[in-house]
Amino acid sequence: MDERQTPGAGTRLVMIDVLRAFAIAWVVLFHLWGDMEFFPGAPSGYYDAFIDRVNDGDAWPAFTAFTDLAFRLGFQGVPLFMIISGISLTVAAYRLGNGLSWPRFFSQRFRKLLVPYWAGVALTYGVIAVIAWRQAGLQGIAFAEAFTGGVTISGSAPITIDWNVALASVALVPRLTGAEYFFAPQLALWFVGLIAQYYLLFPVLFLAMRRIGVPLFLLLSFAITVGANWWIVDRYGAPEFRFYMVTGWAPFRMFEFALGMAIGWLLVAPEGERWLRLARNPLVILSMLVVGFAAHTAGDLMIGRWTVRYWQSLALPLSTLGLGLLCLPLLVKPASRIDVSMPVRAIAALGVMSYAVLIVNDAMRLVASQLRVEQVSDAAWWTFLVVVYVPVSVALAWPLAMALGLLPRAPGERARAREAVESEQRIIALASGG
């Protein structure tokens, strides 16, 4: 077996889980902040506000403008998740080698995707039912009336539930057929339909990447993504006018998954070894960070800016490219003892249960919205946010992840991770003549 595949071949790649933790924290903070802002504007406005506050020379307003910008961009935690999915699937496919069985692949992947999804559906309806039951008692209205239209999200947006919405939420596929069903009613779980498409496409994409080579594969996926968004702009005027399509359908965002596949190839494919060594060069890392920041910012500034017309088709692909380049130095770094240190493992644990955190987060958003409707005091509201919302989301996610089989079950994983680090260190020492 190739030496590059031996270290860690039976273990998880810790830095992927660290990125998952960052992505889920970003998404949760975006949901929390967005529910308080209620329909925030385009990212470009927050960039402008931050620059204005910096030019004013006042530190605190500049800091709050920066945090608003960081929270506003939290929706990009989802593209980051999709990049990570591409990495994980490609790494797994290469590690299996000739043992790769597509039927087994589909069975395992869809079980881990759909069983938690349906658990999230049940949890969301259960929380809505509890809130509706309480409202019915306090307001003297029928439970059915409160359940089908009396519960809100973001404080003032009612969640409408009927048989069509219920069917869309359970069957998943109808979510992708129209804006009225896209958030039906689990707002955070719309991504499951998108990732299911990536799973179905993965065998074809994996074969294509190996046949035509990674550079051409990336170029074609970028062109498909830009072309699909160009068509939306040409036909409807702006991506936002067909939000459910550009957000939920794979052709409109194919590049994010393909970029993850390319990174996965770089990490484990034998033919990618010299490129991996190049990616670890300090000057290359600096270049990746500079280009990544520039591409990400350029993409952000095009999102929601209708005046740029067809340039909007480049917005998501550019910001995705930027995300990938900014994360790449963390992913390609040589293994070290820090990877098995307690703080890093704790962060990685959050990443491992990120799916469960997202499921619980929908329920917590409903509770937070109900508190706003009841106009609790500011002290009680902020106590809920700081003491309950985020910590309890994580605390409840752990047993949920265990029950749903989302946590690694293999015994001795920590010991094997240490062995992987030591093995790679020995290989590096031998290669350098040490």
Domain boundary assignment for the chain = 14-431
What the block records as the tokens of 393 is 């989301």
DSSP 157: E
pTM: 0.89
Sign of the CA dihedral 76, 401, 266, 18?
A: positive
What the block records as the tokens of 312 is 């909007």
The whole-angstrom distance between residue 345's C-alpha and the CA centroid of its chain comes to 20
CB 258 within 8 A of CB 205: yes
Tallying the residues shown for the chain, one arrives at: 434
CB 221 within 8 A of CB 256: no
DSSP 312: G
Task: Look at residue 424 in the predicted model and tell me its pLDDT.
Answer: 45
Helix axes 315-332, 214-236, angle to 10 degrees: 150
- Any idea which residue has 């047993």 for tokens? 399
> How far, in Å, CA of 294 to CA of 286, rounded?
12
What the block records as the tokens of 394 is 């994580």
Task: Look at residue 408 in the predicted model and tell me its pLDDT.
Answer: 72
Phi, psi of 213 (to 5 degrees): 90, 150
What the block records as the tokens of 170 is 């359970």
> How far, in Å, CA of 44 to CA of 302, rounded?
7
Of 160, 227, 191, 170, whose CA–CA distance to 85 is shortest? 191
Counting as low any pLDDT under 70, the low residues of the chain are 1-12, 409-434
> How far, in Å, CA of 363 to CA of 127, rounded?
6
Burial of 200 (0-12, 13-18, 19+ CB in 10 A): middle
What the block records as the tokens of 391 is 């910590």
What the block records as the tokens of 361 is 């987060």
CA angle, corner 154, sides to 19 and 133, nearest 5?
115
CB 221 within 8 A of CB 247: no
CA angle, corner 78, sides to 76 and 82, nearest 5?
120
CA atoms within 13 A on the CB side of 85: 27
CB 296 within 8 A of CB 329: no
What the block records as the tokens of 87 is 């990495």
Q: Establish whether the linkage from the previous residue to 185 is cis, with ω within 30° of 0.
A: yes
